[in-house]
Amino acid sequence: MAWKGVHLTQPARLSLVRAQLRVEQEDGETTIPLEDIAWIVADNHRTTLSIALLAACADHGIAVITSDSRHMPSALTLPFHTHHRTAAIARSQLDAGAPLKKRLWQAIVRAKIVNQGEALKQAKISNSPPLAAMARRVRSGDPDNIEARAARDYWQALFDNFIRGSETDLRNKALNYAYAVLRGCVARALTAAGLLPAIGLHHDSVTNSFNLADDLIEPFRPFADLAVHRQLKDRDPAEELAREDRQMLAALPLREAGIGPETLSMLHASEAVAQSLVRSFETGDAGELTLPAFPVQQPTLPGLKAARV
């Protein structure tokens, strides 16, 4: 089972050597078994890699994320059809009716708002809005748009003088980077489970190849929000996103999340969520969907790390 991420911030030459990723840099080289890697973030434009390596990454279900000139994730490479029942699972997904999709979206929005409330609690925000009560008011399909109303109160509480859409704000840069990495991991989990990332429950843009990933990432977002708050709370919003910030954000999938009684990395939690969604589609029961929550305790998961090269 994959359990590592690779974040490349220095110029590197990547190649395939005996089912391993070889990373050659000025200060030496290292190799990592492909079977251990879940995602790679190529965050330096002087990085080169071979087609053989890309093909091997696809064979191993590795998400490859590339960044633009501003060091922001801009593209995602995923394998085609990695599940042995892709056609059958995709058919159950396509056959899902509106009532089931609305109930699934209701569960997702509730979980997101509850996690937002927990993020404020862990950030030690005083006078937090009553998000748990708002979550209970979410109906099937969220026709009252409780999600947006909760988000307005949440952002006002989490950050001072903050506008979510401001491209020059350091906090937005960090959030966008974090969401892109988590989105890649969720999309990876969906394809591994045999689902079609383009066919969403609530998101349905005709230009979006990852509508379903954008649905399922919602309850994971507060984990990123809390990490960004802790990293940047004493920083000037006019600053640029530093390499150390990007390294922290690239390792977010290795942080812990609760899935039912278990505590998993968010990487493995995304896989559990995708598999539970398959069960929901196949049974028609929205109650099968399992979503992440902040763990009650904060144990240290052994052996998890993001390789920084």
**pLDDT value of position 118:** 97
Alpha helix (H) residue ranges in the chain = 51-59, 86-95, 98-122, 131-136, 146-158, 170-192, 211-216, 221-232, 243-250, 266-283
Of 45, 77, 109, which residue is a domain's last? 77
Q: How many residues does the chain have?
A: 309
Better-predicted residue by pLDDT, 23 or 296 = 23
Of 52, 77, 102, which residue is a domain's last? 77
First to last CA, the chain: 22
State residue 220 phi and psi, 5-degree precision: -85, -20
Pair (90, 73) in one structural domain: no
For a pLDDT cut of 90, what percent of the chain falls above it?
Answer: 83
| 136 pLDDT above the threshold of 90 | yes
CA dist 51 and 67 (Å) reads 18
CATH of the domain at 8: 3.100.10.20
Pair (197, 258) in one structural domain: yes
User: Is there a contact between 219 and 109 (Cβ–Cβ < 8 Å)?
Assistant: no
Query: Which H helix or E strand runs over 293?
Result: none
For the chain, the average pLDDT equals 92
What digits encode the pLDDT tens for the residues 138-188?
999 999 999 999 999 999 999 999 999 888 999 999 999 999 999 999 999
What digits encode the pLDDT tens for the residues 187-211?
999 999 999 999 999 999 999 999 9
- Answer yes or no: is 307 within a domain: no
What digits encode the pLDDT tens for the residues 73-124?
999 988 775 656 888 999 999 999 999 999 999 999 999 999 999 999 999 9
- Answer yes or no: is 297 within a domain: yes
Q: Tell me the residue range of the domain where 65 lies.
A: 4-77
Q: What's the number of domains the chain is made of?
A: 2
User: Is there a contact between 169 and 237 (Cβ–Cβ < 8 Å)?
Assistant: yes
Structure token pair of residue 296? 């009650």
